[in-house]
Chains A and B, each alone.
Chain A
Amino acid sequence: MVPRVDDPILDIRGLCKTYQGGLKALDGVDLAIRKGEIFALLGPNGAGKTTLIGAVCGLVRPSAGTMFAFGHDLERDWRAARRRIGLVPQEMATDMFEPVIRTVKYSRGLFGLAPDAARIEEILRSLSLWDKRDTQIRNLSGGMKRRVLIAKALAHEPELLFLDEPTAGVDVELRKDMWRQIGALRDKGVTVILTTHYIEEAQEMADRVGIIDKGRLLMVDEKAAMMARLGRTEAHITLAAPLAQMPAALAGYPVDLERDGGLLVYRGGDGTGKGRAEVAALTKALIMAGIDYVGIDIHESSLEDIFVQLIERREVAA
């Protein structure tokens, strides 16, 4: 069900990870990432998101499967692959007593790149860290610490960047700022794979979305296509007077009467705006039939609704 991607920047096949103690964190994951896209990996806690990232970045030893990045086998040719991959971890792990700039320079060297003061300055400035460059990391706020982690991951100018919950524990303003940063990276041609709890974040930024649960990728698709396929419009029309039964004029519309006939509920459409058009037609039909109403609430389902539906459907099936 996973659509093939031509010339993927990252190609994962049959990836499995069973931890000691038997926990199966990844159960046959196939995933291909396109160059230059922002890919959002969504899933509940313990779904395997961090394990998947860890496997690609070398923190987790896979139990089975193959991974290719930039055409390099990550198991055999990991040196060549890893120098082009950056990782911003979920945990706020920093060298607390070191000044910001030293740890960022260290990261660049660790990945085998020659020192480049101008490049480091550019990275620190882009993350508003330049004024804090000589501050010990422990004296920074949580949001600033996360920026340091991003600066470290960018220090070796990766072409593929993993962001594991980049906005967890970050206030709203900073989160919006982080989105702009990620957008700027994409504009530079960096491929971004991020995991997030904020589905709003994926909806805002991602080109494609993968939904993972219990170590399996349930669905991978273009965000827009996923919304079109699974999206729904729901409209609640409060009637001036309750109806005893569905009028014949409304036959053909996906509507129900609720709350003792006082509420007309429309559920339909597909996420491409078809629902909204149908609701507009529905209101005209009501007027033509002489049925008065006093309020309309209309709700387009979000990625979050789709996500919750998918996960719940699976819970029921299990």
Chain B
Amino acid sequence: MSGPNAIFNARGAWSIFTFELLRFMRTAFQSVLAPVLTTSLYFIVFGAAIGSQMPDLGGVDYAAFIIPGLLMLTLLGETTSNASFGIYMPRFTGTIYELLSAPVGTVETLLGFVGAAAIKSLILTAIILATARLFVDYQIAHPLIALVYVVLVAAAFALFGFILGVWADGFEKLGIIPMLFLTPLTFLGGTFYSIEMLPAPWNTIALFNPIVYLVSGLRWAFYGTGDVGFGVSLGVTLGFLALCTLVIAFIFRTGWRLRT
């Protein structure tokens, strides 16, 4: 059989994408409410209560200063867990047999799973950004760059989550990476402070934390200032994206943990 479907199964990718999104929607209430509530608490505690006692950082009001970091915190955590669960569940329940026996290749699978996970956390991030408006008055200096940047980060961490979901052989492992690495690194990644505020040698050590570059990049898009240049942030993001893509290419080529 010839035709475009012989090369790329667009309907297959679309089916995975919509099936995954519908699955998210079933739990939409919990999956939106919890992060919005948590982030609101951050705004109240750090933004309103503590922030009012803080000096401006780089000319930015403290409550506004923490917005990019909090967005990143949600974006990284949610994207990773959405994507990892998305592919882990079929492996766990055995329904992956269907995916493996279907005429869908790497690209369709990724577009479906990774796309759905990224879209869901992007929607969530937008909701949180809108919620922030209730607490803080902020202006976004480069809205288009911010949007593109956030999409890139979502794509990168959705790929990362996918890898995690393929690697994990139990629910513990699925939870441990976000809890043990992602959340602490984001907290230490300049969400609530500028790296400059750290004493030596911590300000240098902090630069080994990749999340610093992500938070800084988004902060630059918001306010025109960051801990590092935006070019560096973009480079780190694209580098991470490329790395995850390579790992996934390896997974699909060898069938690692997917095909016996």
On A, residues with C-beta under 8 Å from B are 19, 54, 57-61, 78-80, 82-83, 85, 87, 89, 91, 93-98, 102, 106-114, 152
When distances are taken between beta carbons in the complex, the residues of chain A under 8 Å from B99 are 110
- Which among A19, A80, A108 is the interface contact of B1 at CB below 8 angstroms? A80
Contact yes or no, B102 A111, CB < 8 A: yes
Extra contacts besides A57-B97, A80-B6 (11): CB < 8 Å:
A59-B97, A80-B103, A82-B101, A91-B94, A91-B97, A95-B93, A97-B26, A110-B15, A110-B16, A111-B9, A111-B102
A residues in contact with B19, CB < 8 Å: 102, 106, 109
Contact B93 A94, beta carbon cutoff 8 Å: yes
Please determine whether B12 and A61 come into contact, CB atoms closer than 8 angstroms.
no
A80 proximity list for chain B (CB < 8 A): 1, 6, 103
Q: Within the complex, what minimum Cβ distance (angstroms) separates A232 from chain B?
A: 40
Q: B14 an interface residue at 8 Å Cβ cutoff? A: yes
Complex contact A109–B12 (CB within 8 A): yes
Q: Which B residue sits closest to A164, measured CB to CB? A: B97
Interface size bracket, B side: 20 to 34
- Tell whether, in the assembled complex, residue A111 and residue B255 are in contact, meaning their CB atoms are under 8 Å apart: no
B260 near A19 with CB under 8 A, answer yes
CB distance from A199 to the nearest CB of B (A): 26
- Which 4 residue pairs are nearest across A and B when measured between Cβ atoms? A109-B15, A93-B94, A57-B101, A79-B103
* B15 contact set on A, CB distance < 8 A: 106, 108-110
Contact A82 B95, beta carbon cutoff 8 Å? no
Residue of B nearest to A115 (CB): B11
Q: Which of B5, B18, B100, B255 contacts A112 (CB 8 A)?
A: B5
User: For A91, what are the chain B residues with a Cβ–Cβ distance below 8 Å?
Assistant: 94, 97
In chain B, positions 99-115 with a C-beta closer than 8 Å to chain A are 99-105
Interface class of chain A by DSSP? loop
Complex CA gap A80/B93 in Å reads 27
B22 within 8 A of A: yes
B97 to chain A, nearest CB (A): 5
Report if B98 contacts A (CB, 8 A). yes
Query: Which residues in chain B, 144-183, are within 8 Å of chain A measured between CB atoms?
Result: none
In the complex, residue of chain A having the shortest beta-carbon distance to the beta carbon of B17: A109
Which residue from B16, B97, B259 sits with its C-beta under 8 Å from A89? Answer: B97
Residues in A with CB closer than 8 Å to B98 are 87, 107, 110, 152
| Beta-carbon nearest neighbor of B5 in chain A | A112
A161 CB → nearest B CB, Å: 12
| CB of A219, distance to nearest CB on chain B (Å) | 27
Which single member of B12, B26, B100 contacts A59 (CB below 8 Å)? B100
Select which of B5, B26, B101 is within 8 A of A58 by beta carbon.
B101
By beta carbon, the residue of chain B nearest A113 is B11
Residues from chain B with a CB closer than 8 A to the CB of A95 are: 93, 95
